[in-house]
Amino acid sequence: MTIDVEDYFQVSAFAPHISRESWPQRECRVEANIDRVLQLLEAGNAKGTFFTLGWIAERYPEMVRRIVAGGHELASHGYGHLRASDQSREQFMQDISSSKKILEDIGGQQVKGYRAPSFSIGPGNLWALDALQEAGYQYSSSIYPIAHDHYGMPDAPRFAFHPNGEQGLLEVPITTVRIGQRNLPAGGGGYFRLLPYALSRAMMRRVNREDGQAAIFYCHPWELDPGQPRPEGLGLKTRFRHYVNLHRMESRIRALTRDFAWDRMDRIFLGQQ
């Protein structure tokens, strides 16, 4: 179970409509939404990994401490939700190093994992995996092995792998199912809200039973917030992807915690307690 901790106005698709300079003046909704997520996980006896922006952690340190106090893993989502593919190696190194330090100072636990905003590590910037290892990360969950108009590396392995040898960084992709010659998304995001819950459940069970692998699910706190502000000027595709079935998300997360057992990434893939 993984949660990408960002507020609604930080979504990459909103970047042309919401300036970074306006972020500090925007209504904060992430704290209340994270508390809702924490309550759902506690009620379902589930633990998770929270990939958190450094920008968010600096402003809401008590929220970060509540995540840690709940027994969850704190991991990095970078500092300010910049795509890895839009940064130079030097910029990326600064981003991942500063966010790691911020989270460790606030959360009081070692940050081992990283997820790139918008799954923005792919064929054109695989050097980012070397940078992550150099910065002290032990695993990444940044390569999505699907074809998508904004991200994806469909030829990448579907399950956890070491891109640079057994002693190197571990990459843990979001869950997909293989149908014919294509990988189909099965681990959360807009697809989880769009598709019937029974189909998503069946795909994750298939991965568990037929592939013998853990399913990696992800969501965002804003996905449990149908009352969030709606920026003007969004295109039809962006509006559909962002807002479809937000009102159903809370009940679906509750169903996930009923139908599956969930734990932290570091425990499942690094064998750490």
Q: Which of 207, 190, 177 is nearest to 248 (CA)?
A: 190
Q: CB neighbours of 43 closer than 8 A, spacing ≥ 6?
A: 254, 257
DSSP code per residue over 141-178: -----S--SS---TTS-SS-B-TT-TTS-EE-PPPEEE
213-236 pLDDT, tens digit per residue, is 999 999 999 999 999 999 888 999
Q: Give the whole-number percent of the chain exceeding pLDDT 70.
A: 99
How many other β-carbons are positioned within 10 Å of the β-carbon of residue 139? 23
74-131 pLDDT, tens digit per residue, is 999 999 999 999 999 999 999 999 999 999 999 999 999 999 999 999 999 999 999 9
Asked whether the predicted pLDDT for residue 273 surpasses 70, the reply is no
- Range with lowest mean pLDDT among 40-44, 65-69, 92-96, 152-156: 152-156
Structure tokens at 92: 């990326």
The amino acid occupying position 221 is: P
- How far apart, in whole angstroms, are the C-alpha atoms of residue 162 and residue 228? 39
Q: Which of 197, 193, 189, 185 is nearest to 244 (CA)?
A: 193
118-175 pLDDT, tens digit per residue, is 999 999 999 999 999 999 999 999 999 988 766 779 999 999 999 987 778 999 999 9
Judge residue 78's burial from the number of C-beta atoms within 10 Å of its C-beta, 0-12 exposed, 13-18 middle, 19 or more buried.
buried
Name the residue with tokens 């997820």.
115
Residue 230 to residues 121, 225, 247, Cα–Cα distance (Å): 29, 11, 15
- How far apart, in whole angstroms, are the C-alpha atoms of residue 49 and residue 265? 6
Which of the 8 DSSP states describes residue 109? S
What are the boundaries of each domain within the chain? 2-269
Q: CB neighbours of 108 closer than 8 A, spacing ≥ 6?
A: 65, 68
What is the mean predicted confidence (pLDDT) over 239-259?
A: 95
- How far apart, in whole angstroms, are the C-alpha atoms of residue 249 and residue 40? 11
The per-residue pLDDT for 166 is 76
Q: CB neighbours of 13 closer than 8 A, spacing ≥ 6?
A: 150, 234, 238, 241, 242
**CATH fold of the domain at 2-269:** TIM Barrel (3.20.20)
The per-residue pLDDT for 272 is 66
- Which pLDDT band, with edges at 50, 70 and 90, does 70 fall under? very high
